[in-house]
Structure 1
Amino acid sequence: MPSRRPDETGYGHVVERYVTRTYGGLPRYLVLNSGRFLGPRWWHTTRFTRHLLNDAAAITDEELEALLGYEWRSRLTAAWLIGVDRRERFRARIGDLFLASEVCYSGGAYCFALARFGTHADAEVLTAYLDRYLPRTDLHYDQAAALGALLRLDALLGTHHTDRFTEPDGLWDEWVKGVGRLGYPSYTPTELRRWTDLQCDFANGWTRL
């Protein structure tokens, strides 16, 4: 489905309200993408987080659809809001966008949302993504984020979806070698799992308040 500007669908306010609102001079989408709010020294974390929680609860499904139908900044922000509020009814939509991988940067946010949902259905989406994109050693998309999220779900659900990807000289090792030749850094599965845990534990901690 081709992207459409929210103002073309009657939701012209959503980008300014949810995506480009600034914190410490940075728009929300950039703060989410960089992860700086997860660090202990960013002065704006409390304000940023409370606004994120409020917006995740207040945004309508129609507004989320308007964001998901637009470009990467809007899709990234929408996926975070969906994940924070655990709106599992968006699982199929998130899964379709993730597997299509039409735009950059938003995939990590899809992984966060799926990890937050935390069910076998979400593990299936992540597994399908890795089946499709890990063999592509010429592409550095969101394979790392997907593996980190799937590792978390394996631990939560008692499953072993990641075993066949991470076996020695398996798909993960081959992908790391391939993208390494393209100049991309490599991360261990343990590091990737830790990053997903950090994101989800952050959301869990604040939503309990």
Structure 2
Amino acid sequence: MPSQHPEKTGYGYVIERYVTRKDSDHPRCAELGSARILRPGWRHAERFVRHLVDDTAAITDAELEALLAYEWRSRLTAAWLIGVDRRESFRERIGDLLLASEVCYSGGAYCFALARFGTQADAEILTAYLDHYLPRTDLHYDQPAALGALLHLDARLGTHHTGRFTEPDGLWDQWVRGVARLGYPVDTPAELHRWTSLHCAFTDTRSHP
């Protein structure tokens, strides 16, 4: 589906208000796409989180849809806002965008949102993604983020969806070997689980003062 600038639907202001606004040295979308927000002692943390949480409460569903219909920066930001607010009405939309993988860089944010929702339905979306994309050993998309999110949900729900992916010489190991030949290093499942949990804990501890 081709992207559509929010201006075409009357929401041109959402880019500056939610995506490129600066609560630090970099635009919000850049911070959300980096690991800086998890760095201890980050000097912008208090202001960044306060404004992010305020915006999760203020943004409307229509504004989120306008962001999700545009390019990767706006989709990444929208998915974070949806995840922080646990706006589960967007589950199907987020799942469709993840599976379609139309644009780069935003998939990790979709996985974060699904991890934040925290239900069996979200685990099923992540499982479907891994079933589809792990056999593609020629593609490095969002397989690591999806596995980390699914491991997080397994721990939360007491389920074992990841077991068949991470068994020795299973789909995960085969995919890692494949993308290694393309020059892509990949963290271990334990590290991917840790990163997802850190992102969710960061949100939990700061979005409910």
TM-score using structure 2 length: 0.99
Match of 1:116 in 2: 116
Counterpart-to-counterpart distance in 1, 2:11 and 2:207 = 27
Give ranges in structure 1 of 5+ residues lacking alignment. Answer: none
Q: Which moved more, 1:76-85 or 1:179-188?
A: 179-188
Q: CA deviation at 1:208?
A: 1.9
Match of 2:158 in 1: 158
**Is residue 144 from structure 1 mapped to residue 144 from structure 2 by the alignment?**
yes
1:40-189 mapped onto 2 (5 Å cutoff)? 40-189=40-189
Q: CA deviation at 1:41?
A: 2.8
Q: After the TM superposition, which parts of structure 1 deviate over 2 Å for at least 4 consecutive aligned residues? A: none
Aligned partner of 1:174: which letter? Q
Counterpart-to-counterpart distance in 2, 1:147 and 1:52 = 26
Counterpart-to-counterpart distance in 1, 2:52 and 2:19 = 10
Q: CA deviation at 1:23?
A: 3.0
Q: Secondary structure at the match of 1:176?
A: helix
Q: CA deviation at 1:128?
A: 0.3
Q: Secondary structure at the match of 1:57?
A: helix
Residue by residue over 1:63-92, the C-alpha shift from the partner in whole angstroms, topping out at 9 and shown as x without a partner, is 000000000000000000000000000000
Match of 2:198 in 1: 198
Residue by residue over 1:25-47, the C-alpha shift from the partner in whole angstroms, topping out at 9 and shown as x without a partner, is 20000000002111113210110
Counterpart-to-counterpart distance in 2, 1:81 and 1:5 = 19
TM-score using structure 1 length: 0.99
Residue by residue over 1:150-179, the C-alpha shift from the partner in whole angstroms, topping out at 9 and shown as x without a partner, is 001011111110000000000000110111
Aligned residue-pair number: 209
Give ranges in structure 2 of 5+ residues lacking alignment. Answer: none
Match of 1:6 in 2: 6
Match of 1:31 in 2: 31
